[in-house]
């Protein structure tokens, strides 16, 4: 990914985007807790499965894995600032490296490859090359899990357009197409997790969400869409099996 704007953006990605005006330690553990709830339910039961997290950022997903007993994990990121932050909190499994080259050099090695908030940073050609490398790096029956902004969300722009370095956006249909086209045998696309920190606010949010879903389904019906084909959360979660 040699473009000039990426060199500038990624050199201080934490300072200017992912961790701007936030307490680093609180942010790291908050993200790890969220990953434990949103992503780890899709994981294999074996705590010894080999895990590669690409675009690992500050290593919060690696922290979630370690906290939940997964011991064979490694994360890669191009941002030296992000890697330095993660390592300063003891996440030594986080390395500064090019994920594409790493996967090409390690064929058939991993049970699980993950990529959170990464695919939207790639052009379509780059994304196709990356997915091909992921398939190559997985063992037979291995799984690829990624999270990305959901373009079908009624209000997608805060996530989709909230980062200058975003390039490509997906919905349920295009994500499914992308994964099958690259050789995966089964694909499941689901809604990303939404939660608030306050139990009372979460109860109110869930109530409003139920009402919102009903109204949105009425709108889809009016426009002739099948509501089961449309996800409405800001993020989508894709799970693909080789």
Helices 24-38 and 80-88: crossing angle in degrees, nearest 10, is 90
62-92 exposure pattern, b = at least 16 Cβ within 10 A, e = fewer? bbbbbeeebebbbbbbbbebbbebbbebebe
Query: Alpha-carbon distance 96 to 168, whole Å?
Result: 24
Q: Specify the pTM.
A: 0.91
CATH of the domain at 21: 3.40.50.150
Q: What percent of the chain has pLDDT over 90?
A: 77
The reported pLDDT for the residue numbered 2 is 52
Q: What residue numbers bound the domain in which 115 lies?
A: 4-193+230-241
Split into its structural domains, the chain has a count of 1
What pLDDT shows up at residue 20? 61
Instruction: Using 50 as the pLDDT threshold, list the residues of the chain that sit under it.
Output: 1
Predicted confidence at residue 159, as pLDDT, reads: 80
Q: What integer pLDDT is reported at residue 21 of this predicted model? A: 56
- Report if residue 213 sits inside a domain: no
What is d(CA 59, CA 91) in angstroms, rounded to the nearest whole number? 7
Average per-residue pLDDT for the chain: 92
Burial class (CB in 10 A: 0-12, 13-18, 19+), 61: buried
pLDDT at 14: 66
Asked, for residue 187, whether it belongs to a domain, the answer is: yes
């Amino acid at each position: 990914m040699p473009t000039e704007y990426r060199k500038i953006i990624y050199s201080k990605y934490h300072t200017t985007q992912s961790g701007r005006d936030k307490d680093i330690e609180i942010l790291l553990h908050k993200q790890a807790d969220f990953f434990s709830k949103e992503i780890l339910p899709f994981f294999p039961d074996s705590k010894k499965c080999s895990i590669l997290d690409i675009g690992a950022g500050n290593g919060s997903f690696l922290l979630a894995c370690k906290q939940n007993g997964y011991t064979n994990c490694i994360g890669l990121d191009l941002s030296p600032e992000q890697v330095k932050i993660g390592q300063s909190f003891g996440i030594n499994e986080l390395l500064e490296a090019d994920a594409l080259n790493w996967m090409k050099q390690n064929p058939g090695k991993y049970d699980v490859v993950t990529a959170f908030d990464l695919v939207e940073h790639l052009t379509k050609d780059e994304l196709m090359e990356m997915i091909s490398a992921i398939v190559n790096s997985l063992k037979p029956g291995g799984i690829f899990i990624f999270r990305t902004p959901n373009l079908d969300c009624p209000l997608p722009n805060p996530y989709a357009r909230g980062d200058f370095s975003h390039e490509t956006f997906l919905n349920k249909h295009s994500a499914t197409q992308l994964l099958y086209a690259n050789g995966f045998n089964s694909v499941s696309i689901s809604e990303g997790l939404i939660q608030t920190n306050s139990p009372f606010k979460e109860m109110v949010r869930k109530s409003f969400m139920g009402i919102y879903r009903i109204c949105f389904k009425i709108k889809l019906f009016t426009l002739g869409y099948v509501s089961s084909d449309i996800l409405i959360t800001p993020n989508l979660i894709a799970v693909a099996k080789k």
